[in-house]
Structure 1
Amino acid sequence: MAEVATFAMSDQLLVVIDPAARRTDGESVRIAKDVLSAGAATKVCLPEGPAEFARALARRGSRRPVVIGDDRALMRAVSLLHRQRQLAECVLSVVPVGAALSLAGSLGVPTGAVAAARAVLDGEERRLDLLVDDSDGVVLGTLRIPPVRDPAAPAGMNGANGANGATAVGAVPGRPWLRTCQSLVRTLVPVRGTPAAESGPSRLRVEVDGMTLVDLDQPVEAVSVVPGIAGVAEVEVRPASVGAEASPLRAAGRTVTVSGAHFRYRADEVVSGPVLRKTWTVGEGGLRLVLPGR
């Protein structure tokens, strides 16, 4: 992880305010914008959707981009810059505003609007490792297999409201048979978002730098991969326990390949899959992020 000098107050900033942040917490957006405008020359963009968001970043010129938004806005900016092959050339700042801020916080960005805006003005560039998959996707935080259930998801998506996520309907007067039919359907039809293949231990082969950490003959409960430091990823596999709890298997390397039965994975905030095989490679120092000075 490398550091450079703090930024000059004369820097010109391109402030891109995600529409979700404006809807969720307009007051924090206003405060952040005022702090940034008081400390630097700013151009403010208010994109109404992903296409305008992408155009604003592409047309930033020599201005340093600052994203005001939640973790999804941060990931959107990183993914766009990566696909344009400009991520390595761009020093990115973020002011976290919204409901989901855990990723930004884990990277070291203050989650308060004032502190984060001040870090944009007075902070330092840090080069952080990330993961790039074989489909050109980017992971900044933790990769999980199988994906962890999202506690913020609507109840129906987690199976709490009955078959296929539909809200259960009470018995209609004069039709007592309806409740029986609904109960039978809930029993026979799998709940949306919870396929049978993901309801228990998975059989996966996990390879780190070409060496097998766990093979298909050992069921596993979970796999996690996190960008570490010095260009390696930290891998943890939790085998399915029989009786006494099995100890996690750990390894570190530059390349991680997972293969086996159709599996889904959660990369930061996004669940993808199912896939049969996927490889992630460490991009050393691939993210140039402005963080508070030490």
Structure 2
Amino acid sequence: MTEVATSDQLLVVIDPVARHGDGEAVRIAKDVLSAGATTKVCLPDGPEEFDRALARRGSRRLVVIGDDLALLRAVSLLHRQRELAGCALSMVPVGVDGGPLALARALGVPTGAVAAARAVLDGTERRLDLLVDDSDGVVLGALRIPPLTGAGTDPWALLDPDGDPAHAGAAPGHHHHHWLRTCQSLVRTLASRPVRAAAPVAPGPSRLRIEVDGVTLVDLDQPVEAVCVTPGGAGGGARVEVRPVSVGAVAAPLEAVARTITVSGADFRYRADALVGGPVRTRTWTVREAAWGLTLPG
């Protein structure tokens, strides 16, 4: 780990969903950060302003206040600009209306505003692996096939195929309209790149060919219930776990550690952290070792 100097100037980028949805947590985080370092606060109202703020950060350390989607947008943008390796990120998790925070917790970021802000000031930079796919998308925490389902876990499920908020049975009135505005703002502001939204497919057996470092781990003749790939495995590889469909006795999962994972077969969707991608016929993910830095408690 690398020591982080508290005298650094900070660029604090506050996600608009967090700002409007939990202003108290945002205010607390700002107060703690401002008391310990020189801060410049940026309040982007859309993706273009978010991107410009990061592009103009200069030598300031970047602090994102928001949920997992805000962190993913920042990492994805820096990766596409080929500036990720030289930019240590910090995060103060603020989730609103079911906004995801599982990634932040898995990475070790404190979930309380005060604790997270103090970690920004007094923590250390940890270099972390990530996965990069052949469309230049990134995975920080976990890749899963089929995508997970469940109420409140998938922001893309709030959209219909035309990108309009779906009427998910919410009662009419002020709260309903505020909820719709929040969903629109979240998707408009935080999507890492244009995505044609679709509800996730129901979990079930898939016939996929899964290759690890060029060796077939599972072929099309063996249906699988789930695939999970997480960076940070031994020797700079990713941990791969495949759960075959059980016939009678429970089938033991197949496990491997690999630097390159290729999945192919019939059209499939996948969940990359908090986002659902696909459908695609084939996709390859490659491990980038120590590709990005995140400030965590010492």
Q: TM-score range by the shorter chain?
A: 0.7 to 0.9
* Aligned-partner SS, 1:126: strand
2:271 to 266, 269, 282: 266
Name the counterpart of 1:280: 285
Task: Tell me if structure 1 keeps the 8 A contact 2:68–2:93.
Answer: yes
Correspondence for 1:203 among 207, 213, 217:
207
Indicate whether 1:13 and 2:25 are aligned: no
Match of 2:232 in 1: 228
Change over 3 Å in CA distance of 1:285–1:204 after alignment to 2: same
**Amino acid in structure 1 at the alignment position of 2:89:** L
Unmatched segments (≥5 aa) in structure 2: 159-165, 170-197
Q: Describe the shift of the 1:154–1:259 C-alpha distance in structure 2 as closer, same or farther (beyond 3 A).
A: closer
CA pair 62-141 structure 1, distance change in 2 beyond 3 A: same
Give 1:264 deviation, angstroms: 0.4
Q: How many residue pairs get matched?
A: 259
Partner of 1:111: 111
Match of 2:141 in 1: 141
SS at match of 1:242: coil
Match of 2:245 in 1: 240
The CA RMSD over aligned residues, in Å, is 2.0
The answer for the alignment partner of 1:177 in structure 2 is none
- Percent identical pairs in the alignment equals 71
- 1:186 — aligned with what? none
Please give the alpha-carbon distance, in whole angstroms, between the structure 2 residues aligned to 1:269 and 1:39.
Answer: 31
In the aligned structure 1, how far is the partner of 2:204 from the partner of 2:114?
Answer: 44
Higher alpha-carbon deviation: 7-16 or 63-72:
7-16
In 1, Cα distance between equivalents of 2:228 and 2:29: 34
TM-superposition CA deviations, 1:32-52 (whole Å, max 9, x none) = 000000000000000001111
- Aligned match of 2:254 in 249, 252, 266? 249
For residue 259 of structure 1, what is the amino acid of its counterpart?
Answer: S
Match of 1:68 in 2: 65
Whole-angstrom CA distance in 1 between matches of 2:200 and 2:78? 33
Question: Which residue does the alignment assign to 1:174?
Answer: none
Could you tell me how far apart the structure 2 residues matched to 1:23 and 1:86 are?
30
With the length of structure 2 as denominator, give the TM-score of the two structures: 0.83
Q: How far off its partner does 1:235 sit?
A: 0.3
The one-character-per-residue Cα deviations of 1:13-38 (angstroms, maximum 9, x if unpaired) are: 00000001112211010000000000
1:166 CA displacement = 7.2
Mapped to 1, the partners of 2:222 and 2:6 lie a distance apart of 56
Q: 1:89 aligns with which of 82, 86, 90?
A: 86
Q: C-alpha displacement at 1:9, in angstroms?
A: 2.1
Whole-Å separation in 2 of the counterparts to 1:92 and 1:228 = 18
Following superposition, which runs of at least 4 residues in structure 1 exceed 3 angstroms of deviation?
165-168, 192-195
Q: How does 1:175-190 map to 2 (within 5 A)?
A: none
Distance 2:69 2:153 in 1: 15
Structure 2 contact 269–276 (Cα < 8 Å) conserved: yes
* SS at structure 2 position matched to 1:87: coil
Query: Residue type matched to 2:6 in 1?
Result: M
Distance 1:250 1:167, change over 3 A: closer
Q: TM-score, normalised by structure 1?
A: 0.84
Shift of residue 245, structure 1, vs aligned partner: 1.2
Partner Cα separation in structure 1 for residue 117 and residue 168 of structure 2: 43
Structure 1's unaligned 5+ residue stretches are: 159-164, 169-191
Secondary structure of the corresponding residue to residue 221 of structure 2: coil
Q: Distance in 1 between the 2:251 and 2:43 partners?
A: 51
Note the C-alpha offset of 1:167: 7.3
Q: Would you say 1:55 and 2:61 are equivalent positions?
A: no
Matching residue of 2:127: 127
Shift of the 199–106 alpha-carbon distance from structure 1 to 2, 3 Å rule, reads closer
Whole-angstrom CA distance in 2 between matches of 1:276 and 1:220 = 16
By how many angstroms is 1:151 displaced? 2.3
